[in-house]
């Protein structure tokens, strides 16, 4: 492992693309402490990668085709520090038998990820630098008809008229566009709501914001917005009816 003054080189091994997006975002939030060294979408690919590229930390999914994460770990003669990332708590006993540093249950929260990074640095021979608090969400550039969203592909301008539904997704939000595209961005629902014009967007549920112009019908406690069906929470129902001029 590198000295604590250098960032830990991390390899991500998971067969789910969304998992890579989440972990890359978390790594990017802690510059100087951890850094991305590579991404593999299967255990066999990771075996090949590790033969030629040394890393300090392996963030490893368990359930993968061909070769599981645990089978990969057992096959490595000198594995780096390993953090298992899985949706199943049943693997915990195997994980500790194999000497993993930490065990993260999906969906992984950023606060929990910080604790893992602390634990990884605590295993170094010298004290690790203090972890900074999570950075504040970046302010959107001034605009009257759009906002900027930061995704794994870069920063993209999205016009309010094209944004139909904002859906909470753990530490992220999914932005459903009129074109059918879905953008994943590391924002909170509260921050997104503050960036959207209140006259054009309304909260229908703790996990949903919708564009009023895209609402096609209300059926019971479900709104049809473009091609999507969005729930209406009991807390928000009266305000939804008022915004749609139904009461």
Do 112 and 12 belong together in one domain?
yes
| 30 assigned to some structural domain | yes
On whether both 163 and 221 belong to a single domain, the answer is yes
Q: What is the pLDDT of residue 130?
A: 42
Backbone angles phi, psi at 217, to 5 degrees: -165, 160
Task: Tell how far CA 52 is from the center of its chain.
Answer: 29
Task: Show the beta-strand stretches assigned E in the chain.
Answer: 8-13, 34-40, 57-61, 81-86, 102-105, 146-151, 154-159, 163-169, 172-177, 182-185, 201-205, 208-211, 215-219, 222-225, 228-231
Task: Mark whether 78 and 151 lie in a shared domain.
Answer: no
Q: Which CATH number does the domain housing residue 233 bear?
A: 2.40.50.1020
Q: Please indicate, yes or no, whether residues 30 and 94 belong to a single structural domain of this protein.
A: yes
Residues 103/69, Cβ–Cβ less than 8 Å: no
Does residue 137 fall inside a structural domain? no
Same domain, 115 and 151: no
The answer as to whether 237 is a domain residue is: yes
Task: Report phi then psi at 114, rounded to 5.
Answer: -60, -40
Q: Is-contact 137 187, C-beta < 8 A?
A: yes
**Tens-binned pLDDT, residue by residue, of the chain (247 aa):** 554 468 999 999 999 988 899 999 999 999 999 999 999 999 999 999 999 999 999 999 988 888 888 888 888 888 999 999 887 766 555 665 677 888 888 888 899 999 999 999 887 433 334 444 444 444 444 447 899 888 777 788 999 999 999 999 887 899 999 999 999 888 889 889 988 998 899 999 999 999 999 999 999 999 999 889 999 999 999 999 988 888 6
Condensed to tens digits (0 to 9), the pLDDT of residues 148-188 reads 888 777 788 999 999 999 999 887 899 999 999 999 888 88
Say if residue 78 is in the same domain as residue 183.
no
- CATH number where 48 lies: 3.40.50.2300
The bridge status of strand 163-169 relative to strand 154-159 is unpaired
Q: Which of 122, 155, 180 is the last residue of a domain?
A: 122
* C-alpha–C-alpha distance, residues 236 and 189, integer Å: 15
Q: What angle do CA 124, 127, 130 make, to 5 degrees?
A: 115
Give how many domains the chain has, as a whole number: 2
Entry pTM: 0.52
Residues 107, 54 share a domain:
yes
> What is the per-residue pLDDT for 96?
58
Q: Is the dihedral of CA 190, 156, 22, 140 positive or negative?
A: negative
Q: What is the dihedral of CA 198, 175, 181, 211, to 10 degrees?
A: -20
* Structural domain ending residue among the three candidates 69, 88, 122: 122
pLDDT value of residue 37: 96
Q: Tell whether 130 is covered by a domain.
A: no
* 127 occurs within a structural domain: no
Same domain, 111 and 157: no
pLDDT on residue 92: 56
Residue 163 maps to a domain: yes
Confirm if 103 and 94 have CB atoms less than 8 A apart.
no
Q: What angle do CA 194, 195, 201 make, to 5 degrees?
A: 80
Distance separating alpha carbons of residues 67 and 45, to the nearest angstrom: 10
Of 87, 107, 122, the position where a domain reaches its end is 122
**Residues spanned by the domain of 233:** 146-243
| pLDDT for the residue 89 | 65
């Amino acid at each position: 492992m590198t000295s604590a003054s250098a960032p830990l080189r991390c390899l991500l091994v998971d067969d789910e693309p969304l998992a890579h997006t989440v972990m890359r975002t978390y790594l990017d939030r802690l510059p100087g402490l951890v850094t991305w060294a590579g991404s593999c979408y299967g255990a066999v690919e990771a075996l090949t990668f590790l033969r030629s590229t040394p890393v300090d930390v392996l963030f490893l999914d368990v359930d993968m085709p061909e070769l599981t994460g645990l089978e990969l770990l057992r096959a490595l003669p000198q594995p780096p520090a390993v953090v298992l990332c899985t949706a199943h708590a049943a693997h915990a006993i195997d994980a500790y038998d194999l000497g993993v540093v930490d065990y993260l249950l999906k969906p992984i929260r950023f606060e929990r990820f910080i604790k893992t990074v602390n634990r990884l640095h605590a295993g170094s021979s010298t004290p690790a630098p203090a972890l900074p608090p999570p950075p504040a969400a970046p302010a959107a550039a001034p605009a009257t008809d759009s906002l900027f969203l930061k995704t794994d592909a870069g920063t993209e301008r999205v016009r309010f008229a094209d944004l139909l539904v904002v859906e909470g997704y753990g530490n992220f939000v999914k932005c459903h566009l009129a074109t059918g595209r879905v953008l994943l961005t590391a924002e909170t629902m509260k921050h997104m709501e503050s960036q959207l014009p209140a006259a054009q967007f309304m909260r229908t549920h703790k996990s949903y914001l919708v564009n009023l112009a895209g609402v096609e019908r209300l059926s019971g406690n479900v709104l049809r917005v473009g091609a999507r069906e969005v729930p209406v929470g009991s807390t928000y129902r009266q305000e939804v009816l008022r915004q749609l001029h139904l009461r």
